[in-house]
């Protein structure tokens, strides 16, 4: 039997949980985020497919979502409900098959399932039906010969479907797409690659890894070429998730313009974050800041600490030092802080690392 990876991805997860709780919302555009009040500053956590038809997307300001879809039903986020629903799905995925499998949780709404089988499609449909029967939630399932292809296959199967992506059909389906189609390459990286002459996945796959590495860095060059070639780990990692970082952020209903107030808010956020760091029972090795200026321009900065620490005063001082290097003349609508732990907590696409976290919402 061959080794396969299934990527189980719950469709419009957060919105789907809300609709299950409120059947009268079936077929209506539903937008979830913040306090559920689109007149207040917050962003969309997720939108139902009906709302997406109006252009509403995750991460969009709620006020913009209200303009795009004024007849939408706006609901507050209820994280405990989503965590409970996610836990129910995890329980199903652990036991849906009568053959050994490995489960790697990626967030609230998605997980990899590693299994040896001659019939991955039947197993994918079995997982899909088991989740639906037990929870009422629909999932799409991507099938691949490694985690990258399984993850990207899911988009071809959405919603409520399955799809298989392997080495044999990789370039046929992905080759002529832009490089931002690849899991792990965002719009900024794709723009940079375009400037270097790589417009498509096929062009990037044909690049010399070392030559590209000389331009973008010895780690990222080979990594990006590898992604374009569909290379990734085929092993699903079932070890418990270990957080790479913890973060806190707050959105202000009135823009901050007084920098004494900005510093005070940073101090408060970092001290709250320190409690999270201590809860992890690991010291922070790096801290970062996120500042969203008016109207909606976001800047992030980070720095490595002189020594690992859980000391709130040290963390506050490090973040304030970053803050002082930012623009002091623009109103601020959001502040966020982040503490990162040692790199051995991070697992990525390659064989020695994997990513985990059932956090976040996909399409």
CA distance 315 to 278: 12
pTM of structure? 0.79
pLDDT at 349 (0 to 100) = 38
Q: Which pLDDT tens digits describe the chain residue by residue (363 residues)?
A: 899 999 999 999 999 999 999 999 999 999 999 899 999 988 899 999 999 999 999 989 999 999 999 999 999 999 999 999 999 999 999 999 999 999 999 989 999 999 999 999 999 999 999 999 999 999 999 999 999 999 999 999 999 999 999 999 999 999 999 999 999 999 999 999 999 999 999 999 999 999 999 999 999 999 999 999 999 999 999 877 677 899 999 999 899 999 999 999 999 999 999 999 999 889 999 999 999 998 888 999 999 999 999 999 999 999 999 999 998 999 999 999 999 998 643 433 333 333 333 433 333
Instruction: Outline which parts of the chain fall under CATH 3.40.1170.60.
Output: 15-79
Q: At what angle do helices 120-135 and 79-95 cross, to 10 degrees?
A: 140
Instruction: Outline which parts of the chain fall under CATH 3.30.1490.100.
Output: 245-345
pLDDT at 243 (0 to 100) = 76
Query: Which stretches of the chain are DSSP H helices?
Result: 13-21, 49-52, 62-68, 79-95, 120-135, 147-157, 170-174, 187-195, 201-205, 209-216, 220-228, 259-280, 312-324
Pick the CATH number of 15-79 from 3.40.50.2000, 3.40.630.30, 3.40.1170.60, 3.40.50.1240: 3.40.1170.60
pLDDT at 336 (0 to 100) = 95
Q: Say if CB 138 and CB 11 are below 8 A apart.
A: yes
Residue 260: how many other CB atoms lie within 10 Å: 8
Return the DSSP state at 138.
Answer: -
What CATH code is assigned to 171-228? 1.10.150.20
Catalytic residues: 110
What b/e sequence results for 44-64 when a residue is b if at least 16 CB atoms lie within 10 Å of its CB, and e otherwise?
bbbbbbbbbebebebebbbeb
Task: Name, in order, each residue with C-beta under 8 angstroms of 271's C-beta and a sequence gap of 6 or more.
Answer: 312, 316
Q: Could you give the dihedral angle defined by the CA atoms of residues 209, 215, 217 and 218, in that order, rounded to the nearest 10 degrees?
A: 40
DSSP β-ladder status, 162-165 and 139-144: parallel
pLDDT at 239 (0 to 100) = 77
Lookup: tokens for 171: 């370039």
Class of domain 245-345 (CATH, top level):
alpha beta
pLDDT at 343 (0 to 100) = 66
């Amino acid at each position: 039997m061959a080794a396969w990876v299934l990527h189980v991805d719950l469709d419009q997860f957060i919105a789907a949980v809300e609709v299950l709780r409120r059947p009268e919302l079936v077929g209506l555009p539903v937008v979830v985020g913040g306090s559920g009040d689109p007149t207040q500053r917050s962003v969309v956590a997720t939108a139902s497919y009906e709302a997406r038809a109006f252009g509403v997307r995750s991460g969009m300001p709620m006020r913009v979502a209200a303009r795009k879809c004024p007849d939408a039903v706006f609901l507050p986020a209820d994280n405990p409900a989503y965590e409970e629903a996610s836990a129910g799905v995890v329980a199903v995925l652990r036991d849906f098959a009568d053959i050994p499998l490995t489960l790697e949780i990626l967030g609230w709404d998605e997980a990899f399932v590693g299994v040896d089988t001659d019939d991955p499609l039947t197993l994918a449909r079995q997982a899909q039906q088991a989740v639906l029967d037990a929870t009422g939630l629909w999932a799409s399932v991507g099938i691949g010969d490694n985690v990258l292809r399984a993850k990207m296959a899911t988009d071809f199967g959405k919603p409520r479907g399955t799809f298989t992506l392997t080495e044999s059909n990789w370039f046929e389906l992905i080759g002529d797409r832009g490089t931002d189609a690849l899991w792990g390459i965002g719009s900024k990286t794709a723009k940079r690659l375009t400037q270097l002459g790589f417009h498509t996945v096929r062009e990037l796959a044909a690049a010399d890894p070392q030559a590209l590495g000389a331009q973008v860095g010895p780690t990222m060059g080979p990594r990006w070429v590898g992604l374009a070639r569909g290379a990734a780990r085929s092993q699903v990692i079932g070890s418990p998730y270990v957080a790479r970082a913890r973060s806190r952020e707050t959105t202000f209903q009135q823009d901050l313009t007084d920098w004494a107030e900005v510093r005070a808010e940073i101090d408060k956020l970092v001290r709250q974050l320190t409690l999270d760091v201590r809860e992890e029972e690991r010291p922070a090795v790096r801290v970062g800041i996120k500042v969203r200026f008016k109207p909606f321009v976001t800047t992030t900065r980070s720095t490595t600490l002189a020594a690992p620490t859980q000391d709130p005063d040290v963390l506050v001082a490090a973040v304030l030092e970053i803050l002082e290097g930012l623009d002091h003349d623009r109103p601020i609508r959001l502040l966020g802080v982040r503490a990162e732990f040692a790199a051995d907590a991070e697992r990525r696409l390659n064989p020695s690392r994997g990513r985990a976290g059932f956090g976040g919402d996909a399409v």
